[in-house]
Amino acid sequence: MDKEKSDLKDVTFIIPLRIDTVDRLENTLVIVDFILGNFDTQIKILEASHRDTGLLRKLLPEVVEHRFMQDSDAIFHRTKYINNLAGICETPFLSLWDTDVFVPVEQIEETMSLLRKGKTDFVTPFQDKFLDTSEILRDLYIQSGDIRILMKHQGKMKVLYKPNPVGGVFFAHRQSYINTGMENEKFYGWGLEDGDRANRWRILGYRHQHIKGPLFHLSHGRGVNSTFQSLNQSDLKHAELYKTLSMSISELKEQIGK
| Close Cβ partners of 127 (under 8 Å, ≥ 6 residues apart) | 210, 211, 212, 213
Let me know if residue 13 belongs to a domain: yes
CATH number, domain with residue 134: 3.90.550.10
- Based on the structure, what is the number of domains in the chain? 1
Let me know if residue 185 belongs to a domain: yes
Q: pLDDT class for 226, splitting at 50, 70, 90?
A: low
- Picking from 123, 130, 145, 133, the residue whose alpha carbon sits closest to that of residue 210 is 123
pLDDT tens track for 112-154: 999 999 999 999 999 999 999 999 999 999 999 999 999 999 9
Contact status, residue 34 vs residue 8, Cβ threshold 8 Å: no
The pLDDT, as a whole number, for residue 212 is 97
Let me know if residue 207 belongs to a domain: yes
Alpha-carbon distance of 217 to 160, in angstroms, equals 9
For the beta carbon of residue 234, count every other beta carbon within 10 angstroms: 16
In sequence order, which ranges of the chain are alpha helices (DSSP H)? 22-38, 55-59, 78-86, 105-116, 135-144, 147-152, 174-179, 193-203, 231-245, 249-256
Q: Provide φ and ψ at 174, rounded to 5°.
A: -60, -40
The pLDDT, as a whole number, for residue 1 is 46
Mean residue pLDDT across the chain: 91
Of the chain, the percentage scoring pLDDT greater than 70 comes to 94
- Give the residue, 193 or 258, on which the prediction is more confident: 193
Alpha-carbon distance of 8 to 2, in angstroms, equals 17
pLDDT tens track for 51-62: 998 999 999 999
In terms of residue numbers, what domain contains 176? 6-256
- 208-210 sheet: strands from edge to edge: 65-70, 39-49, 6-17, 93-97, 169-173, 122-124, 208-210
* CA atoms lying within 13 Å on the CB side of residue 71: 19
Buried-exposed string 111-129: b where 16+ CB fall within 10 A, e elsewhere: bbebbeeeebbbbbbbbbb
Contact status, residue 100 vs residue 31, Cβ threshold 8 Å: yes
Let me know if residue 1 belongs to a domain: no
Q: pLDDT class for 227, splitting at 50, 70, 90?
A: low
Let me know if residue 158 belongs to a domain: yes
Alpha-carbon distance of 186 to 237, in angstroms, equals 8
